[in-house]
């Protein structure tokens, strides 16, 4: 059905049942079951409840925000907070040479950072298998999955795992004011798809635009809170969490997923960082050291489930930590 036919359908349903159905209802409730459920809430609001449940925290509150769930994928086979804790306790080093499944490090390497199209490093923190993804679990076809940036796929997986860690049934959040705030800097995958000759199809734009990373989660889970992808370079994840806390304080969201994702699917972004001296050739960060000469790039995805502290306590959630405040600014005219 085209948009005109859908509007006729909305008008017919409204006349038949004597209720005012929104013109956007067929898009917001795209299956017969979902649309029928929505119509039922319009017919009997007292029994079934109308609209999205509202957060009980008063808008403008500065209540502390609880971290009640964590999901993460990091180098060295870290697939959750317990794995990360074990790696840290063991003093593990997750930096390694570029795996051949990404790119041929030798052919991109040069001593001179100004060598055209070259980088001075062969090191990084890489996830083991970014191609692994079960599209059917997330209602995605194989054709669409081929166009999806692995950052989108990974964020879907980590969001699910974070909710599981919080002992929250993902299905229970459908239609509720749950926000998604994800930090992401760029998409190397778009460059790979272009170079591969994969034809442009209806899934290309949504598959490779970083703005869709958060929207994927909201769409799959049916979340109706704010959904945005933040790009403030290295601070993206922190800013995403700050915005999530602000949304909870304003009462826009009753719950929020916040964090970030970063994958190096192509060497080109590393080459770009090399040109202004950001990359350490030896693969070692030496912050505050006389020998400091750049940093080492790494991959990963991490999301936390955030909830106002009073709600978390009332629900009996496990609380990892509490965020009591935050702020963002810019250093303006400086070296960054």
pLDDT in tens, 246-272: 999 999 999 999 999 999 999 999 999
Q: Are 147 and 208 in contact (CB under 8 A)?
A: yes
* Window from 112-121, 214-223, 283-292 with minimum mean pLDDT: 283-292
pLDDT the model gives residue 58? 59
What burial class does residue 181 get, using C-beta atoms within 10 Å of its C-beta: 0-12 exposed, 13-18 middle, 19+ buried?
A: buried
Q: Which residue has the tokens 């086979």?
A: 77
Quick check: 52 pLDDT over 60? no
Q: Give the number of C-alpha atoms closer than 13 A to the C-alpha of residue 148, restricted to the C-beta side.
A: 24
- Mean per-residue pLDDT, 121-134: 95
Share of the chain above pLDDT 70, in %: 94
Q: How do residues 273-307 score in pLDDT, each as one tens digit? A: 999 999 999 999 988 888 888 999 999 999 999 99
**Cα–Cα distance between 249 and 41 in angstroms, integer?**
28
DSSP bridge partners of 97:
123
Question: What rounded mean pLDDT belongs to the chain?
Answer: 91
DSSP bridge partners of 96:
124
Q: What is the reported pTM? A: 0.84
pLDDT the model gives residue 143? 92
pLDDT the model gives residue 119? 97
pLDDT the model gives residue 47? 41
pLDDT the model gives residue 51? 38
Confidence of residue 59 (pLDDT cuts 50, 70, 90): low
pLDDT the model gives residue 48? 41
Q: How do residues 309-334 score in pLDDT, each as one tens digit? A: 999 999 999 999 999 999 999 988 87
> Hey, what CATH class is 65-323 in?
alpha beta
pLDDT the model gives residue 336? 63
Residue 149, phi then psi, degrees to nearest 5: -55, 130
For strands 123-124 and 65-73, give the pairing: unpaired
Quick check: 199 pLDDT over 50? yes
- Contacts of residue 302, Cβ cutoff 8 Å, sequence gap at least 6: 70, 71, 72, 73, 74, 158, 237, 259, 260, 261
Quick check: 56 pLDDT over 60? no
Q: Are 181 and 256 in contact (CB under 8 A)?
A: yes
Quick check: 60 pLDDT over 70? no
Q: Name the residue ranges covered by the structural domains of the chain.
A: 3-48, 65-323
pLDDT the model gives residue 34? 81
Share of the chain above pLDDT 90, in %: 70
Q: Are 184 and 154 in contact (CB under 8 A)?
A: no
């Amino acid at each position: 059905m085209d948009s005109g036919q859908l509007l006729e359908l909305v008008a017919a349903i409204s006349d038949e049942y004597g209720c005012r159905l929104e013109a956007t209802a067929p898009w917001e409730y795209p299956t017969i079951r979902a649309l029928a459920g929505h119509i039922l809430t319009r017919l009997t609001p007292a029994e079934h409840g109308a609209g999205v449940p509202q957060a009980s925290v008063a808008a403008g509150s500065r209540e502390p925000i609880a971290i009640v769930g964590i999901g993460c994928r990091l180098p060295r086979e870290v697939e959750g907070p317990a794995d990360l804790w074990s790696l840290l306790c063991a003093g593990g080093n997750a930096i390694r040479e570029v795996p051949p499944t990404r790119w041929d490090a030798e052919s991109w390497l040069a001593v001179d950072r100004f060598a055209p199209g070259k980088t001075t490093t062969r090191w990084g923190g890489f996830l083991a298998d970014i191609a692994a993804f079960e599209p059917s679990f997330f209602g995605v076809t194989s054709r669409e999955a081929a166009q999806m940036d692995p950052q989108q796929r990974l964020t879907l997986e980590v969001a699910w795992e974070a909710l599981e860690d919080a002992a929250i049934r993902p299905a229970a959040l459908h239609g509720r004011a749950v926000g998604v705030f994800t930090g992401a800097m760029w998409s190397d995958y778009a460059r790979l798809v272009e170079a591969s000759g994969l034809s442009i199809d209806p899934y290309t734009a949504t598959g490779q635009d970083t703005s869709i990373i958060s929207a994927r989660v909201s769409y799959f889970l049916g979340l109706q809170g704010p959904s945005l992808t933040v790009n403030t370079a290295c601070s993206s994840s922190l800013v995403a969490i700050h915005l999530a806390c602000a949304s909870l304080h304003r009462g826009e969201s009753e719950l929020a997923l916040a964090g970030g994702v970063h994958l190096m699917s192509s060497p080109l972004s590393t080459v770009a960082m090399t040109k202004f001296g950001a990359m350490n050739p030896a693969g070692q960060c030496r912050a505050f050291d006389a020998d400091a000469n750049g940093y080492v790039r790494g991959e990963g995805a991490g999301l936390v489930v955030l909830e106002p502290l009073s709600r978390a306590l009332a629900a009996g959630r496990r609380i990892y930590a509490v965020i009591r405040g935050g702020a963002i600014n810019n250093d303006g005219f400086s070296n960054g």
